[in-house]
Amino acid sequence: MGLLCAGFALLAVTLLTAASSPGCDELVKPFSLENPQMLLGKWIYVMGTGDPSSYHKALDSLKSSWIELVPTADSQTITLRWGDHCFGRCIYGEVNATLSGLSATFRKNLSDHKGHLLQTCSDCLLWTDAFRNQDFTGRNLLLFARSGNVDPKDVEIFKKQLHCLNFPQNFHSYDGKIELCPDEKEQTE
């Protein structure tokens, strides 16, 4: 009788563990909002990876980064602004992204991007995209947070998402030491 009870207890623990550990279908589910306004505003880069390895290595030059999603008069278009601290200086940019269903497309630095948001931690954005620059193709997975910080448990989930999407398991992360580039638009307002 004791062995049977121990067997049921082990089965219950196994089922609870499986239920609390989401599979890849849950981990890479597209993110859909009833209120897209929640996505607008400024976000700080936390961590990311690129594939193939040359694009991943390019992230090493990124010391800090922010993005801002700004509405436009056209409900199918948003403006994506950014400030990247790379190569010892601040690099700014702005593009319009066209929204279609759960995906967005835009052109940045001679590359055509198409991607979408995935489910992630609260007050975070997880962007995955595929891009083409002439004959070169690649993809990114980038995590942003309002505060610039995420909980260690969210880092573990990010690692699982990397695995599910067949990205390299090593990833680049913002160390919080290099200040964010000042927002030029905020300074002129």
User: Could you report the per-residue pLDDT of 17-55, keeping only the tens digit for each?
Assistant: 333 457 898 899 888 766 677 888 999 999 999 888 777
Residues of the chain with pLDDT under 50: 1-20
Q: Please tell me the number of Cα atoms within 13 Å of 178 on its side-chain side.
A: 21
Closest by CA to 97, choosing from 69, 120, 73, is 69
pLDDT at 31: 82
Q: Please tell me the number of Cα atoms within 13 Å of 74 on its side-chain side.
A: 9
Identify the structural domains of the chain with CATH numbers, from first to last.
40-100+108-174 (2.40.128.20)
pLDDT at 109: 78
Structural contact between residues 55 and 125, judged by C-beta atoms closer than 8 angstroms: no
